[in-house]
Structure 1
Amino acid sequence: MLNLIVTALLPVFLVLALGYFAGKRKLVDNQNVSSLNVLLMQFALPLTLFVSIAKTPQTVIFQNGPLALVLALGLVITYAVVGWTQRKFFGLSLGDAAVETLTIAFPNFASIGLPLLLPIFGPQAALSVAIAIAVGSVTISPMTLALLELDKARKADTGHSVSASRQFLIALGHSVRKPIFVGPMLGLVVALIGFHLPALVATALGPITAATAGIGLFLTGLMLSAQTIKITGDVVFGTTVKNVLQPLLVFGLAKLLGLPPAIAAQAALLTAIPAGFFGLVFGASSGTKTPVAGATLIISSVSGIVTLAVAIMLLAPK
């Protein structure tokens, strides 16, 4: 078991540390990471998810429907509760609350999912990670983009011309046109219609898809190096929800729905992954900088060394 934990976690946190070191030493600019973000979110990750899903047999896709359901419930419930808490108890503005809520509710599937699950569950884990990212991309990501658009309109005093519901629909339309959504959805269509993806396609895309996990981890470490750490009650709350309560919620939902132990274990381990950087990226693109989200990202990632090790001990196949 110790060897399994080390095998799963060492590559993850080593590359995170390399990105952090590069940013702190100014070897790579940690303030302007848009180019790396474009590489990951518009090319490497969408292509990796497309290939992973498109190569999956139709029957396997249907078998993973319950995993998608329990992940969707876990992410949306967490998002709703945390978002309400940010506004009601911590007094964050609409934009800041949206960024912090997405940081907490959307685990770092993009960077940590593949290198974490592959050593534990094998090659089929790539589909689970793709499903997890797709679920977050079509549920809580559009919600966040809509809230940020609404907050920007209110600050500019232009919200009177467009209703909140209309702005939400506009933001939703923008979100579903992004490569991070189109890639996995296109792969899903290919798989469901039973089209056999030529091996040459996967081979041709191999150089960039093979680098996806490393790029994501390095980028996360780079972004962490630019954050200021100020531990507040909100940061402690967010880290506890993300690293402990969300995986417990998802595991409980899986048991309640009567899902097989293997699916319950994968769902819980996926949501045990620390906070993700999508919130910071979305916030930066709309001009919203939320210090509490950066601190939550750091504390969640660091404490994830312990919480992920515990999750692997409890959930990995014996």
Structure 2
Amino acid sequence: MANTILLALAPIFFVLALGYGAGRLRMVDNQQVDSLNALVMNFALPASLFAATASAPRSQLFAQAPLFLILGAVMLVLFLAWYFLQVRLGKGGKAEASLQGLTIAFPNLAGVGLPILADVLGPSGTVPLAVALASGSIIVSPLSLIIVELSRKQDGAAEAPTARMLGSLRRALTKPVVLAPALGILFSLCGFKSGAVAEACLMLIGHSAPGVALFLTGLILSAQPFRLDWKVVSATWIADIIRPLLTAAVVFLLPVSTETGKVAILLAAMPSGFFGILFAVNYRLDSATMGSMVAASTVLSIVTMAIAIAVLFPH
């Protein structure tokens, strides 16, 4: 168990520290990160998500439908709870509250989930991981992006509310990181085969997504002070403790298989993800609070994931 946790988290901290050090030492400009952000969010991560979902057999995707719905529902509840609480308290704008909610609700499945499931479940862990990533990318990410789009100040003539809503919906749903997993699932459900050559081409750039995203996260953090305030503490507690416990409660109440339940809880125990930070960079929003949330959640997850693995997969 200790070896599993070490193998999963040591590379995460190493790449984060690498990006942080590169920014602090001015080896890489930590103020101009748009190009790296575009590489991750428009190319590498969409390619990885499409390849993972499109290559999954249709029967396996149908079997993972409960996992998709459980994790999607848990992420949505946590996202909405944090968003409405922040808006009600008047702490920051709606766009920032939306991306903070995305950071808390959507765990770091790409960076932490892959090595954990590969060690715990072996090769069979690839499909549930792809489905879990698709769940967050299709359900929570678009909602967060729609709120951000609606919160932006529009230039020129004022748009009608309906036109503005439709425009925000279109911009959010056409983001590559949203489109890719949806198209991948549709591709698989239609029985199409991507082929070895196409899959190899996509995965060549797709495999770089977690590493470059973590490096970019460290680079962004190097330009900001770490904030350990009540908001960061609350977000870390919700992401690392409440999220897996809420998932366990849902699994207990629903008639799902034991294996699906265990995988859902383990995936929910992963630390906060980096989507919120990268979207904040893309929209020129403050990412310092989200960066602190990710850092604190990742540190605490050393303990929480060790407990989750020991309880769910003792052997």
TM-score, structure 2 length as denominator?
0.90
- Give the structure 1 partner of residue 308 of structure 2: 311
**Pairing 1:15-54 to 2, within 5 Å after superposition:** 15-54=15-54
Match 1:211 to one of 191, 208, 213: 208
**Pairing 1:205-244 to 2, within 5 Å after superposition:** 205-244=202-241
- Give the structure 1 partner of residue 136 of structure 2: 136
Match 2:167 to one of 155, 170, 180: 170
Identity of aligned residues (%): 37
Query: SS at 1:28's partner residue?
Result: coil
2: CA distance, partners of 1:91 / 1:188: 37
Please give the per-residue CA displacement for 1:149-180, whole angstroms capped at 9, x wherever unaligned.
Answer: 222238x797x6432x6534322221221221
Query: SS at 1:139's partner residue?
Result: helix
- Give the structure 2 partner of residue 277 of structure 1: 274
Amino acid at match of 1:211: S
1: CA distance, partners of 2:96 / 2:111: 23
Aligned residues: 315
Please give the per-residue CA displacement for 1:64-114, whole angstroms capped at 9, x wherever unaligned.
Answer: 000000011101100111112112236332222222222212222233332
State the shift of 1:63 in Å. Answer: 0.1
Structure 2: 5+ residue stretches without partners:
none
CA contact (8 A) 1:247 1:271 kept: yes
Please give the per-residue CA displacement for 1:108-144, whole angstroms capped at 9, x wherever unaligned.
Answer: 2233332332222222322222222222222222222
Please give the per-residue CA displacement for 1:33-61, whole angstroms capped at 9, x wherever unaligned.
Answer: 22222222222222122222222111101
Task: Flag the 1:123–1:215 CA change in 2: closer, same or farther, 3 A.
Answer: farther
**Which shifted more, 266-275 or 88-97?**
88-97
CA contact (8 A) 1:104 1:238 kept: yes
- Answering whether residue 95 of structure 2 is matched by residue 95 of structure 1, we say yes
2: CA distance, partners of 1:4 / 1:166: 50
**Pairing 1:224-303 to 2, within 5 Å after superposition:** 224-303=221-300
Task: Flag the 1:157–1:79 CA change in 2: closer, same or farther, 3 A.
Answer: farther
Task: Flag the 1:13–1:290 CA change in 2: closer, same or farther, 3 A.
Answer: closer
- Give the structure 2 partner of residue 56 of structure 1: 56
State the shift of 1:11 in Å. Answer: 2.5
Task: Flag the 1:302–1:225 CA change in 2: closer, same or farther, 3 A.
Answer: farther
Please give the per-residue CA displacement for 1:242-261, whole angstroms capped at 9, x wherever unaligned.
Answer: 11101111121122112222
1: CA distance, partners of 2:281 / 2:203: 31
2: CA distance, partners of 1:220 / 1:289: 13
1: CA distance, partners of 2:205 / 2:95: 34
State the shift of 1:317 in Å. Answer: 5.8
State the shift of 1:290 in Å. Answer: 4.9
CA contact (8 A) 1:146 1:170 kept: no
1: CA distance, partners of 2:287 / 2:88: 17
- Answering whether residue 70 of structure 2 is matched by residue 70 of structure 1, we say yes
Query: SS at 2:153's partner residue?
Result: helix
**Which shifted more, 68-77 or 183-192?**
183-192
State the shift of 1:239 in Å. Answer: 0.8
Structure 1: 5+ residue stretches without partners:
none
2: CA distance, partners of 1:317 / 1:213: 27
1: CA distance, partners of 2:282 / 2:9: 31
Please give the per-residue CA displacement for 1:237-291, whole angstroms capped at 9, x wherever unaligned.
Answer: 1111011101111121122112222212222222222222222222333332154
